[in-house]
């Protein structure tokens, strides 16, 4: 899909990932602040933290790919 839509797809993907991270942080705050059982809070917090770590890893990969593409474009231009 990235090949067909190009930069707009990458921008939408990045924005969606950032919004998802913000939503996870919000959900984490709500889980900690809720007055349900400690075990349920612990399970929700553990799940949200695992999700957040995964999303941050995806964001890092996204940024790394973007940086490598930018460097490749810069190298191609300097060789021309």
Percent above pLDDT 90 for the chain: 4
Residue 31: count of CB within 10 angstroms of its CB: 19
Q: What is the per-residue pLDDT across 16-39, written as a single tens digit (0 to 9) for each?
A: 878 887 887 787 777 777 767 778
Looking at residue 36, the DSSP 8-state letter turns out to be S
The Cα 64–Cα 17 span in angstroms is: 14
CA dist., res. 3 & res. 1, Å (int): 5
User: In this structure, what token pair is assigned to residue 57?
Assistant: 């890893």
Q: What angle do CA 71, 77, 78 make, to 5 degrees?
A: 90
């Amino acid at each position: 899909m990235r090949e067909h839509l190009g930069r707009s797809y990458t921008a939408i993907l990045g924005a969606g990932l950032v919004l998802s991270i913000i939503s996870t942080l919000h959900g984490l705050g709500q889980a900690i602040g809720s007055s349900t059982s400690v075990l349920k809070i612990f399970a929700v917090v553990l799940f949200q933290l695992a999700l957040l770590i995964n999303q941050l890893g995806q964001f890092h990969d996204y940024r790394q790919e973007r940086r490598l593409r930018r460097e490749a474009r810069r190298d191609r231009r300097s060789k021309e």
